[in-house]
Each structure stands twice: as C-alpha cells, then as structure tokens.
C-alpha cells in the first residue's frame, strides 16, 4: 500500500482448468483485499494440480478462530 513494487505472482495455466498459483499466494490475497493489482507471470509447463482456480475463491474478512472451528 506504500507503493513498493512487488515481484509478480507465478502461476501455471492448466489445460482449460484455469490458473494455479505456484508462488505468491499471500500477494494474491493482499491484492484482492486492497484492490491494488499485482503482476502475474505465467510459468512454462503444466504445473502441479492442486486447489481450484484461485480467481474463483470467495474471500471473507478474518474475525476469529471461532469463524473456522466454532466457538
């Protein structure tokens, strides 16, 4: 937020399944929360298959541990 240039998020594009983050998960979340764009670099190759496309993740504000585990 103070104007520092950050390294790009590194992603793999997996055949028709979308983009998968390899490096930069926290930068992506910070970008979504602040509305400040961050560069994305698509890496060559198919990459690992893990979580669904992070572009579709619905973010909620963190409140407490009870939000996840129950009070």
Give residue-wise pLDDT tens across range 16-59: 778 888 899 999 998 989 999 999 999 877 766 555 566 666 76
Q: What is the pTM of this model?
A: 0.59
Q: Strands, DSSP E only, in the chain?
A: 9-14, 18-23, 40-42
Domain edges within the chain: 9-59
Higher pLDDT, 67 or 27: 27
The pLDDT value given to residue 20? 85
Calpha distance 30→19 (Å, rounded): 18
């Amino acid at each position: 937020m103070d104007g520092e240039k950050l390294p790009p998020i590194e992603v793999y594009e997996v055949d028709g399944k979308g983009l998968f983050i390899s490096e930069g998960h926290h930068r992506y979340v910070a970008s979504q929360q602040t509305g400040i764009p961050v560069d994305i670099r698509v890496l060559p190759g198919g990459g690992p298959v893990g979580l669904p496309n992070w572009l579709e993740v619905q973010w909620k504000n963190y409140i407490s541990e009870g939000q996840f585990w129950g009070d």
